[in-house]
Amino acid sequence: MPRSTATMLASALVLIALLCAGVLIKVPYSEMSPGPTVNTLGDARGEPVLQISGRKTYPASGHLNMTTVRVTGADYRMNIFEAVYGWLAHDSVVVPHDTLYPDGKTEEQSTQENAEEFSQSQESAKVAALKELDIPVATQVVVSTVVKGSPAEDKLHAGDVIKAVDGTAVKEPGDVAKLVTKHQPGEDVTFTIIPAKTAAAAEKAGRAPEGGEEITIRTAKAPAAAEGDGEEGGRDRAIVGIRAGTDHTFPFEIDIKLADVGGPSAGLMFSLGIIDKLTPGDLTGGKFVAGTGTIDDAGTVGPIGGITMKLVGARNAGARYFLTPDDNCASAAADTPDGLTLVRVKTIEDATKSMEQIRTGKTAGLPSCSTG
């Protein structure tokens, strides 16, 4: 065999081997890419995203789009070629697998966690929007979870409203733990509660739950790093085995209809959509605005993940302005798609003021993002 032929054959074999290795060798990375955007003022799958009854609403035009990120599944393993392509592509990001699925979290666990966060974000979005409009919202402390096998099992239930502990009124979830841990393990603690079913009926009727019944529970000693009662585990600390949270009674019904979306990052845009529908006039002025950000009951906007992919998705959908959480501003400003203006927001009040500037076309003074 001529030397040149042998060299070409050897090179071909090496190339084939490298190609096979690139396809067969898996690397511990996952990919993030732009997901769909949804107009909170519009429809999804044939029905309005925001449905409000029991209160006058107003027509709203333009776009207030929430944005999403598409990620590879927990069980999917990228090969070398896919990872390299993702690193080079502008519309995707390759990250360590553990960034998306830490501690061996399964896709099912991640989906469940995202669903819970999405549900909580909807509640906070409603509260923040109504507070911004000075519409009163009743808030109460409730039992969020009951630990299996704990003293509270079969005595307290998820959704029970906690009015008091040992006769002392409860105003915040943290109050429950403080009052329970005043006891020594083995002592009795008395909860004044409104059962979950009674509370649910009151909420459906648009009124705050009333009344109460006393439930006495014998405390137990907390195991190390115990879950329950809202605090870290500690030696000789008394617990009953619950986690307290908050629930709200709204003066009218607000439903957010959006399937196959998870996580808390749509909170800000849901709040703005609710505000737009409950106020005369037009919040957007017909403009295409997208955005992202968590929101809490007080209206504080928090950071999210995958900001660069959300920017790409928003611009691809036609957005001209993007409401950006303050803590995400630097990374967003470092890679902003052409034609997209970033608007920095810290609170729902910031966002509504910026929307007024966008609506009227007076955008020179919009708070902007910078890399510094």
Q: Using the 8-state DSSP alphabet, how is residue 328 labeled? A: G
User: Which stretch, 240-249, 257-266, 344-353, has highest mean pLDDT?
Assistant: 344-353
User: Which stretch, 2-6, 209-213, 228-232, has highest mean pLDDT?
Assistant: 209-213
Q: Where are the alpha helices (DSSP H) in 285-324?
A: 307-317
pLDDT of 91 reads: 72
3-state DSSP call for residue 240? Answer: coil
Scanning the structure block, which residue is given the tokens 């669903």?
115
pLDDT of 271 higher than 90? yes
Q: Which residues does 88 contact at the CB level (< 8 Å), separation at least 6?
A: none
User: Of all residues in the chain, what percent carry a pLDDT higher than 70?
Assistant: 83
**pLDDT tens digit string along 78-102?**
776 566 666 566 677 777 767 677 7
**pLDDT tens digit string along 162-203?**
999 999 999 999 999 999 999 999 999 999 999 999 888 877
Cα–Cα distance for residue pair 350/325, rounded to 1 Å: 10
- Amino acid found at 3: R
pLDDT of 104 reads: 72
Q: 303, 293 in Cβ contact below 8 A? A: yes
Q: Give the mean model confidence (pLDDT) for residues 140-164.
A: 93
* Strand (E) or helix (H) holding 113: helix 107-132
Cα–Cα distance for residue pair 56/278, rounded to 1 Å: 7
Q: Which residue has the higher pLDDT, 258 or 340?
A: 340
pLDDT of 230 higher than 60? no
| Residue 334 main-chain phi, psi, to 5 deg | -75, -15
pLDDT of 255 reads: 94
Q: 348, 128 in Cβ contact below 8 A? A: yes
Q: Which residue has the higher pLDDT, 109 or 366?
A: 366
Cα–Cα distance for residue pair 144/249, rounded to 1 Å: 16
Q: Helix 348-360 and helix 107-132: axis angle, to 10°?
A: 70
